[in-house]
Structure 1
Amino acid sequence: MTDRTRKWARLALTAALLCITAFLSTDAQGRAFRPHHRSVIARPHAAVGANIRRVPGRHTLRVTRRDTRSDTGSTLASSSLEGIMVVQESTGNVVVSNNTTSLFNPASNVKVPTALWAVRTWGPDYRFTTEVSTDGTINADGALHGNLYVSGRYMLFGEKQGRQLARLLARMGITSVKGNLIVSPEFSMDLHSTGAAAGEKLMATLDPHHKTPGLRSESGLLPDGTPEVAIKGSVKVDAPPATAALLATHNAPPLKDILKIMLCHSDNNMAERFGAMLGGPAALRTFLIESIGIDASEVQLASTSGLFVNRLSPQAMMKILQAFEAELKAHQLSFTDLLAVAGVDDGTLRGRFSAVGQAGSVVGKTGTLPETDLGVSTLSGQFNTNSEGTFLFVIFHMHGDVHRFRARQNSFVTGFQKAHSGARPFVYTPILRRIEGENFWN
């Protein structure tokens, strides 16, 4: 037997053992998996915890929940559902496959195709720009006689950026605005508000006492040293006139860094804002079908964040991962540039796969819905091994305890790495803290 033959024999044996282990790992009352011809189809835009409906020509999955306990913490209840797919990157060979065409709730794994959609649309180095302008003039006493316009759609613009703007205006000699604060309709503050509501938040940041002028400090400074900008008028929503003079520009971090924040922390609001900018869940589904080649029967989306009832097969998720990786490689990027690096990056994977020697060897996206579909936990991405290189993986769980599901996912990935001479960390320099510490005004 040649070395090459022995190598593939060992890989095939490992895959077979993993599949057999997954199939036999059940409680005493029944097996964890359902036959391949059974699948779950959710009503489009169904509410949280929606019932499963029968599909003509198919059996309906049993949805009764029997959450039996186990000392190992990774054994599935008989009513739990599991889908797994593992592909070796160097060859494209599928080495583990179970229930890959069945439909699961992917939870926050939906943020991965949302991120892919954004990168494909704008490019990873695209920057959202916020412009500050005026139609007035600045007097020697520091009064801006006219309106102050703020326009842009950077979703992470918040109090920090507002205070930076106040300092910037003070350096220009502006201490008060005699007109209104006018923001564009898409202007956002702290993700949760746009338009007039966002304008009110910015007003409160620039001029905290504009409703009660008597409370203004004699020094004109807030307790942290931020200058106040007294605004006489009110908040309006409109676009700046073409003749407005530009005062300052905020160039947001590149899109790849914003997506890194969203994916590491699994931020639902960010994902929904991206989705709204790009066209919503229906448009995302069309993108996946027409541009990525996902079978229409294997994807149903009610959100672009993973909230509510969505449906995706492990096979479809694998295609998304492969398309995402190819897109990133075209820009000289890798998964570590956008997805969370387990045991290293802050966020949902900070405490997982963090053992000495394993930290930094798994890159991925989590998904958790404790109540929807009787409990959902998902994990997909990439892991590295010493002897066989990197693998793409998808693990979908539904109908059970999310903590048990996570333990099972951890056990599967760790066991797979051990079977291939252990984990091998990716070469990676953390970037989140650098992003948070930069000032993007000019």
Structure 2
Amino acid sequence: MTKTTGREQPHGPRSPRPGSVKQGSRKPWPLAVAALILLVLAVPGALLVAPGFLGPDAPGPTPAPPAWQQAPATLPAPQVLAPLQPSAQVPAQPAVTAQVDPVLKTDGGGTFTGMVQDALTGQVLFDRGGAEGRVPASNLKLLTAVAALRTLGPDHRFTTKVVQGPAAGQVVLVGGGDVLLAAGESQPEQVMGHAGLATLAALTVEALQAAGTTGDVKVLVDDSLFTGPALNPAWQSGDVEAGEIAPLYPLALNSARFDPAVTTGPRPQDAAMAAAEEFAGRLRAAGAGVGLTVAAGVERSPGAAQANTAVLAGVESATVAEQVNLMLQVSDNYLAETLGRMAGAATGRPGSNDGATAVVKAELAAAGIPSDAVTLVDVCGLAMGNQVSARQFAEVVRAITTGADTRLRAALDGFPVGGLSGTLGTRYGDATTSGGAGLVRAKTGTLNTVLALSGYVVDADGRLLVFSFIGNGLAPGAAGNKEALDRAAAALAGCGCR
């Protein structure tokens, strides 16, 4: 007997069990129902899965941005002040005095003098002791600017050069008046650092190679262009120690600062030697790959370089106009004293403090500004012995803005702008002075008991006015004194004084 299992047997047809239905006779409706159910379920699933195969829908059209975000069809006209019109009405003197006099008050002692003039005619519109000699502080730099532009010219540049030394294997770094040298490469787009010692060193190596020079090279420095005391005895020792000024030399890095970004604190006491040592290091690096070595240590040249000495290389400073503007913007004492000495040397005077004060006073007179009563003991304004009147400063600003000598126009960019630039960048921010923000352009002056502000402004009627306000004997640190100066200048800006 064959044993069977639970599996179907392939041999022979099986008889239907009682009650069963033959396959060929089943009813089709259960299959149709199942198919319909599957179809109903499949359609939503397909809709969910399809994007994975077909990708996202094509984006619809992007709506146009609002009008204020769209590029303009035409460029608007520049928003600038209208050209000055000589026909604009000159303010009335009583009305100007009524605006300025009440706000020009000292805070805690001392006195203010002042002068306001119409720039085109010179008509006096306000006068409070305007002819009185005063300690002007850094307003004195306006006089130095006039002397530098008249004697040197706005486009003049100072050259720092390297020449053959007095003995074989020596090169001499010769200072030519550029105290804004950079340690690295020249930066033609900058005023500070326009000429760089790394560039000068590379050019020197090229010249030495061309001459067949090899072996050891000794660097000397020639700073003989400036004479007399390097430090003015009229400067207070506290100002020197605080870094307001340093000994003067005809070449320096960063206006005799260790770091161009740090404009306070100690300074090199021998800027020429500091620059020469930096140059020697750059020359050593540039010559290392071509067989040149540089001896340790730098010495001063035993004498001035002769005019016919072979020049190996040179780099040029920013223009005098650019340096004047930097001097006025940031009130750089070292740069002012240098420009004064260079102006003196350009007119055959010694490159000393005496030469600088003499040329500034002489050029003031040559510009048509009476200078008999002017007393100068320096040309940066740091000394307390200087004496200049508010009227003389107003006349200097007139000469710069509207005078016959157009070389002086180069100084206009140097005037700090109220609330925007330079030493006026943080002023004109309160309710009593904000009317002068962006309109007042003036040189500041600050010493312990001295404040000054001299510049120009276009009044509400379009008339150009020049002014000078000087405070002496002021309470040190009294905040109201600067505010008084700023309020007076702002009053002129808003003046439709008839």
State TM-score, norm by structure 2.
0.59
Instruction: Tell me the equivalent position of 1:268.
Output: 333
Residue 340 (structure 1) aligns with: 416
- Alpha-carbon contact 1:335-1:363 (below 8 Å) kept: no
Task: Quote the residue 2:462 is aligned against.
Answer: 388
CA distance in 1, matches of 2:278, 2:339: 25
Q: For the residues of structure 1 that align with 2:365 and 2:120, how far apart are their CA atoms?
A: 26
Residue 301 of structure 1: aligned partner: 376
Cα distance in 1, alignment partners of residues 480 and 406 from structure 2: 38
Q: AA paired with 2:445?
A: G
Distance, in Å, in 2 between the alignment partners of 1:8 and 1:197 is 55
Q: Does 1:147 align with 2:222?
A: no
SS class of match (1:381) = strand
Deviations 1:223-242 (A, max 9, x none): xxxxx963357423134456
Q: Distance in 2 between matches of 1:10 and 1:323?
A: 20
Other-structure match for 1:103: 133
Structure number, greater radius of gyration: 2
Give SS of 2:382's match: coil
Where 2:132 maps in the other structure, the secondary structure is coil
Counterpart check, 1:115 vs 2:145: yes
The C-alpha deviation readout for 1:295-343, integer Å capped at 9, x for no partner, is: 523x222211112221111112222222333568623835433333333
Q: What's 1:178 paired with?
A: 216
Q: Using a 3 Å threshold, how does the CA distance of structure 1 residues 16 and 262 change in structure 2: closer, same or farther?
A: closer
Q: Among 359, 365, 382, which residue is 2:443 paired with? A: 365
Classify 1:13/1:294 alpha carbon distance in 2 versus 1 (closer, same or farther; 3 Å): closer
Determine if contact 1:89/1:390 at 8 Å carries over to the other structure.
yes
CA distance in 2 between counterparts of 1:177 and 1:379 reads: 57
How do 1:208-223 residues align onto structure 2 when only pairs under 5 Å count?
208=281
* Backbone CA RMSD of aligned residues: 3.8
1:123-272 correspondence to structure 2 within 5 Å: 123-134=153-164, 146-151=169-174, 152-160=176-184, 161-169=196-204, 178-184=216-222, 185-186=224-225, 187-190=250-253, 191-192=255-256, 197-198=270-271, 200-208=273-281, 230-231=294-295, 234-237=298-301, 238-240=303-305, 244-272=309-337
| Equivalent pair of 1:260/1:340 in contact (CA under 8 Å) | no
Instruction: Look up the SS of the partner of 2:424 in the other structure.
Output: coil
Do 2:340 and 2:357's aligned partners in 1 also have CA atoms closer than 8 Å? yes
Identity of aligned residues (%): 23
Q: 1:276 to 1:396 in 2, by over 3 A?
A: same
CA gap 1:197/1:102 in 2 versus in 1, 3 angstroms: closer
Contact preservation (8 Å) 1:119, 1:256 = yes
Q: Shift in Å at residue 19 of structure 1?
A: 4.9
Paired position in structure 2 for 1:427:
none
Q: What amino acid is aligned across from residue 317 of structure 1 in structure 2?
A: F
Q: Which residue of 1 aligns with 2:117?
A: 87
What secondary structure does 2:485 align onto? helix
3-state SS of paired residue (1:178): strand
Structure 1: runs of 5+ lacking an equivalent: 1-6, 26-74, 138-144, 211-215, 222-227, 422-442
1:113 CA drift (Å): 0.7
Q: Which deviations, in whole Å up to 9, do the C-alpha atoms of 1:232-262 show, x marking residues without a partner?
A: 5742313445664433221211101111111
SS in 2 for 1:166: helix
Query: For 1:167 and 1:343, how far apart are their aligned partners in 2?
Result: 43
5 Å-filtered alignment, 1:298-337, equals: 299-309=374-384, 310-326=386-402, 330-331=406-407, 333=409, 335-337=411-413
Aligned partner letter, 1:389: R
**Matched residue of 2:122: which SS?**
coil
After superposition, the Cα gap between the structure-2 partners of 1:205 and 1:412, relative to the gap in structure 1 and judged at 3 Å, is: same
Q: Structure 2: state its 5+ residue gaps.
A: 1-87, 185-195, 226-249, 258-268, 345-354
TM-score by length of 1: 0.65
Q: Distance in 1 between matches of 2:101 and 2:402?
A: 32
* Structure 2 CA distance for aligned equivalents of residues 12 and 263 of structure 1: 30
Distance 1:92 1:102 in 2: 18
Q: Which amino acid in the other structure matches residue 404 of structure 1?
A: G
Secondary structure in 1 aligned to 2:178? coil
Deviation at 1:207, TM superposition (A): 4.1
- Distance change in 2, residues 1:200/1:332 (3 Å): closer
Tell me how far 1:78 sits from its aligned partner. Answer: 6.8
Equivalent-residue separation in structure 2 for 1:382 and 1:13 (angstroms): 19
Instruction: Look up the match of 2:42.
Output: none
Distance (whole Å) between structure 2 residues aligned to residue 9 and residue 362 of structure 1: 18
* Maintained 8 Å contact 1:134/1:149: yes
